């Protein structure tokens, strides 16, 4: 898929993190990047617009990223949507929970542009088959 044609939704309760992700994605050539501040607002976007990929933080008020993912997988019209979960707090249990909920990938904060680019381009170039989630090099407790 051409990066200019891909439509992405960045979901994070931190305005600065949304700006950082949007900036990184724009620098990588993705020009159609929308933002939502939580899972509730993300679902409103998903009802109104077709997206190729959702990049969502895990921990957010009103509706977390993992709950957003579960809503997406339960909705027939959205079930094939690619979802990348992003978080700074990672445990083995998080990885298992994300995989069981149907995450297509996992990015650990802080991340570098190259790692985000690798995940995003891999997901946009593949069919909706969940990729194995990587084991973290470190965990935060």
CATH label of the domain that carries residue 120: 3.40.50.2300
Radius of gyration of the CA atoms of the chain, in A: 14
Asked if the structure places residue 119 within a domain, the reply is yes
Asked if the structure places residue 62 within a domain, the reply is yes
Which residues span the domain enclosing 108? 7-124
Whole-model pTM: value is 0.85
Asked if the structure places residue 134 within a domain, the reply is no
Asked if the structure places residue 137 within a domain, the reply is no
Give the separation between CA 48 and CA 32, rounded to whole angstroms: 15
pLDDT of residue 8 exceeding 70 = yes
Asked if the structure places residue 110 within a domain, the reply is yes
Kindly report, residue by residue over 77-126, the tens digit of the pLDDT: 999 999 999 988 778 898 889 999 999 998 888 777 888 889 999 999 85
Query: 3-class secondary structure for 6-45?
Result: CEEEEECCCHHHHHHHHHHHHHCCCCEEEEECCHHHHHHH
Asked if the structure places residue 70 within a domain, the reply is yes
Kindly report, residue by residue over 15-69, the tens digit of the pLDDT: 999 999 999 999 989 999 999 999 999 999 999 999 999 999 999 999 999 999 9
Residues 6+ apart with CB under 8 A from 20: none
Asked if the structure places residue 139 within a domain, the reply is no
Residues 6+ apart with CB under 8 A from 129: none
The three-point CA angle 131-1-119 to 5° equals 35
Number of separate domains in the chain: 1
Asked if the structure places residue 2 within a domain, the reply is no
């Amino acid at each position: 898929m051409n990066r200019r044609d891909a439509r992405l939704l960045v979901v994070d309760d931190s305005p600065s993190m949304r700006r950082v992700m949007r900036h990184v994605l724009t620098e990588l050539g993705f020009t159609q990047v929308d933002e939502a501040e939580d899972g509730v607002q993300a679902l409103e976007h998903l009802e109104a617009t077709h997206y190729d990929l959702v990049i969502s933080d895990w921990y957010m008020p009103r509706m977390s990223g993992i709950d957003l993912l579960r809503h997406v997988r339960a909705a027939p019209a959205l079930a094939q949507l690619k979802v990348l979960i992003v978080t700074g707090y990672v445990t083995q249990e998080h990885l298992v929970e994300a995989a069981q909920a149907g995450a297509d990938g996992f990015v650990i904060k802080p991340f570098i542009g190259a790692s985000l680019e690798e995940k995003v381009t891999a997901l946009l170039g593949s069919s909706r088959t969940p990729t194995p989630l990587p084991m973290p090099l470190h965990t935060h407790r």
